[in-house]
Amino acid sequence: MRHRVSRREFVKMSAAGAAAATWVVRPAAIGAVTVTAQEIVDRVRKAVGGEWKTDTVDTFKAGEPTSPVTGVVTTSLATIDVMRRAVKAGANLIVTAGPTFYSRVDSPTPPAGRGRDAAAPPTPDQVFTAKNEFIRANRLVVWRFSDHWRLRSPDPFAEGLANALGWARYRTNGDPARLTVPAIALEALAARVKSRLEARGGVRVVGREQTRVRTIGLLPGTRAVQEIVALLPQVDAVIAGEIREWESSEYSRDVVNAGLGKGLILIGRSLSEEAGMKMCADWLRPIVPEAPVRWLPAGDPYWRPPV
């Protein structure tokens, strides 16, 4: 926390800044117009369109919804690293596509674990403890925005991914999940995906390196084999987030071994949703004029040793 500015220093800096009129002090910073996390969520619920689901992961995961918001951060995964960067940027509301506490249930205490009594008190876990403590100390509020964001049409995760690949103009019939691109070898396509998404070790490919690709289907997120089986016949390559290997990658391997020139590129769930949360920041900005909104990428979780 050595970069954190103390309250006294902040007041001094603000006064100096205001006197010199060298920075624009946003209304939220001087407390003239404030918006709470709950108010932002209420606006999102209204703006996102459609019915709000009763069974949804899109809920507050940590912090006090009545907190005035100093800044909003969107991200694919609310890791401690993202939270630290949010605090440094002066933001206190994290809008995340993924869980905060490492599970769909997203409980701030560890799961009971296999064979343990669910009613028993949770085993202390220093990672859970430290994350809770960091959230508390920095008065962060975390809200998950996943189910409803992905229901928008066109799918913002696919649209974001197409944009991140630099291929927004290659939509097929306006559908951002279907691209028709200048012919590219599967190997070069995979390399482009890796560099454009700033992936480290998360990109894995099924197919022959020289297979020529013109049509691409995008399936960001966690996808069922039924979706892969339905889409692969229609395109040369599918770029997906995560799948089950005994299903979709084996299916794709058989398709390739049957002599059909196809490819499957997997990029991981979290990385596949990163660009969609960048779109989310752009979408939130006009909805939340009181506070700065920025996207903070969580990055590719994976790496692999150099061969």
Binding positions for another protein, rule: CB under 8 A: 57, 77, 79-81, 84, 98-99, 102-105, 110-111, 113, 123, 125-128, 130-131, 187, 190-191, 193-194, 201-206, 209, 222, 225-226, 229, 232-233, 242, 244-255, 257-258, 260, 262, 266, 268-270, 298, 301-307
b/e per residue 58-68 (b: at least 16 CB within 10 A): bebbbbebebb
Nearer to another protein, 22 or 246 (CB): 246
Nearer to another protein, 66 or 195 (CB): 195
We find the least distance from the C-beta atom of residue 134 to another protein, in angstroms, to be 9
We find the least distance from the C-beta atom of residue 202 to another protein, in angstroms, to be 7
Long-range CB contacts (< 8 A, 24+ apart) of 242-248? 242/266, 242/268, 242/269, 242/272, 248/223
- Which amino acid is residue 145, in one-letter code? F
We find the least distance from the C-beta atom of residue 253 to another protein, in angstroms, to be 4
We find the least distance from the C-beta atom of residue 221 to another protein, in angstroms, to be 9
Long-range CB contacts (< 8 A, 24+ apart) of 5-11? none
Nearer to another protein, 105 or 183 (CB): 105
CA–CA distance, 186 with 263 (Å, rounded to integer): 7
* Order of all β-strands in the sheet with 93-96: 60-62, 141-144, 93-96, 72-75, 293-295
Nearer to another protein, 68 or 98 (CB): 98
Does an H or E element contain 7, and which? helix 7-20
Length of the chain: 307
We find the least distance from the C-beta atom of residue 102 to another protein, in angstroms, to be 4
Nearer to another protein, 151 or 260 (CB): 260
